[in-house]
């Protein structure tokens, strides 16, 4: 039976937020070279991204829990725009962007890239997308990620999915993945599991306390798991009605009735 690894020091500290913050990046100099200025959120010179009132889903779970696989199915069925934070970082590395080698080393070590980098990549993708429904996969991985998103984008997720999977199963899936990822090896996966436990579980707990978390047992076939995901998004499909309900001042009874009918399922997404 797989157990959590006991010591990864100095890769990661297990105590105070300040040291976790440092462990999350491991590159103080690298971090300080990024601007912390709030980027402009204005699109088309008129409408800010925030004003588009996008529907945001964060997708969380340990390495190999099936986030990417389920996101693909959600995209096919519900037409969300899928943004994988890990994929965006891998793309940056492949394009030899500035700091690519630090990013590569961070990922090889199973650590977390500074939030400024990741949030900026996510922001660019969101702002340039025509979609208004986003699945942000593998983010936020840390409290620092979460706070950076809130501060830079100015929005919170509408719903947070958490694919809950036993470590043994996650390790098996990662080692069988065969996609040539530099972090799909036993040493890195042990570190990633530890990072998940120390840095990501508190974020999951945060959303649970705020009533936004939808925990899904990620054991079973891909289709079986998707059947647990489906109702969450079937309800969210009615989100436009929720906005209508909120904004319309002159509702007539024949308009209210169908809205009341769906309002129970809508509440799942709030
Ligand atoms: N329910 C499942 N049963 C068995 N294998 C699965 C299941 N879901 C996904 N897989 C396989 O497990 C591997 C990991 O899945 P996936 O890439 O979706 O995980 P992930 O959560 O995105 O992982 P990471 O955080 O490392 O990106 C893939 O090879 C995928 O095909
Ligand atoms: N918010 C994030 C997401 C990902 N990374 C880095 C570190 C992860 O181990 C790696 C792979 O991510 P995945 O594809 O498994 O989601 O990418 C990060 O630093 N910050
Ligand atoms: Mg993935």
Instruction: Give 69 Cα–ligand 1 centroid separation in angstroms.
Output: 6
Rank 24-38, 44-58, 196-210, 223-237 by mean pLDDT and report only the highest: 196-210
8 A C-beta contact, residue 178 and residue 52: no
Write down the residue that tokens 């969380």 correspond to: 60
User: What is the best residue among 71, 85, 173, 191 to mutate for testing ligand 1's pocket, by most ligand atoms within 8 Å of CB?
Assistant: 173
Tokens of 182: 């530099």
Q: Does the pLDDT at position 268 exceed 70?
A: no
DSSP label of 39: P
Q: What tens digit of pLDDT does each residue of 146-161 get? A: 999 999 999 999 999 9
Q: Does the pLDDT at position 243 exceed 70?
A: no
Q: Cα-flanking dihedrals φ and ψ of residue 238, to 5°?
A: -90, 10
Q: Does the pLDDT at position 132 exceed 90?
A: yes
Q: What tens digit of pLDDT does each residue of 79-111 get? A: 999 999 999 999 999 999 999 999 999 999 999
**What confidence score (pLDDT) does residue 73 get?**
98
**What confidence score (pLDDT) does residue 159 get?**
97
Does the beta carbon of 191 sit less than 6 angstroms from any atom of ligand 2?
no
Q: Does the pLDDT at position 145 exceed 50?
A: yes
Which of these, 262, 204, 210, 255, lies nearest to 236 by C-alpha position?
262
Return the sign of the alpha-carbon dihedral for residues 38, 41, 45, 48: negative
Ligand nearest to the CA of 141: 2
User: Any bridge partners for residue 19, and if so which?
Assistant: none
Which of these, 134, 127, 113, lies nearest to 71 by C-alpha position?
134
What angle do helix axes 85-94 and 100-108 make, rounded to 10 degrees? 130
Q: Does the pLDDT at position 21 exceed 70?
A: no
Does the beta carbon of 138 sit less than 6 angstroms from any atom of ligand 2?
yes
Atom of ligand 1 nearest to the CA of 137: 22
Percent of the chain with pLDDT over 90: 67
Q: Does the pLDDT at position 261 exceed 80?
A: no
Residue nearest ligand 1's atom 10 by CA: 66
What's the pTM? 0.81
Tokens of 16: 């105070």
Residue predicted with more confidence, 178 or 41: 178
**What confidence score (pLDDT) does residue 259 get?**
45
Residues in the ligand 1 pocket, defined by CB under 6 Å: 61, 63-69, 86, 138, 173-174, 177, 220-222, 225
Q: In what order do the strands lie in the sheet with 55-61?
A: 81-84, 133-137, 55-61, 159-164, 213-217
Does the beta carbon of 149 sit less than 6 angstroms from any atom of ligand 2?
no
User: Any bridge partners for residue 204, and if so which?
Assistant: none
> What is the complex's ipTM, to 2 decimals?
0.99
Calculate Rg over the CA atoms of the chain.
19
């Amino acid at each position: 039976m797989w157990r959590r690894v006991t010591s990864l020091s100095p890769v990661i500290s297990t105590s105070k937020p300040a040291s976790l913050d440092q462990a999350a990046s491991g590159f103080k100099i690298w971090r300080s070279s990024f601007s912390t200025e709030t980027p402009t959120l204005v699109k088309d010179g008129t409408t800010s991204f925030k004003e588009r009132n996008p529907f945001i889903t964060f997708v969380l779970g340990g390495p190999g829990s099936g986030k990417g696989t389920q996101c693909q199915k959600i995209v096919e069925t519900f037409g969300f725009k899928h943004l994988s934070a890990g994929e965006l970082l891998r793309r940056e590395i492949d394009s030899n962007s500035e700091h690519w080698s630090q990013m590569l080393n961070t990922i090889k070590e199973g650590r977390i890239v500074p939030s400024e980098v990741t949030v900026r990549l996510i922001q660019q993708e969101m702002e340039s997308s025509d979609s208004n429904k986003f699945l942000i996969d593998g983010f936020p991985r840390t409290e620092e990620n979460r706070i950076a998103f809130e501060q830079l984008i100015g929005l919170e997720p509408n719903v947070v999915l958490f694919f809950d999977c036993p470590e043994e199963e996650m390790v098996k899936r990662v080692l069988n993945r065969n996609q040539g990822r530099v972090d799909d090896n036993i040493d890195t996966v042990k570190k990633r599991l530890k990072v998940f436990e120390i840095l990501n579980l508190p974020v999951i707990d945060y959303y649970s306390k705020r009533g936004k978390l939808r925990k899904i047992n990620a054991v079973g076939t891909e289709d079986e798991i998707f059947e647990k995901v489906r109702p969450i998004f079937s309800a969210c499909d009615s989100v436009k009605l929720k906005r209508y309900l909120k904004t319309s001042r002159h509702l007539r009874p024949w308009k209210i009735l169908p809205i009341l009918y769906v309002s129970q399922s809508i509440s799942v997404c709030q």
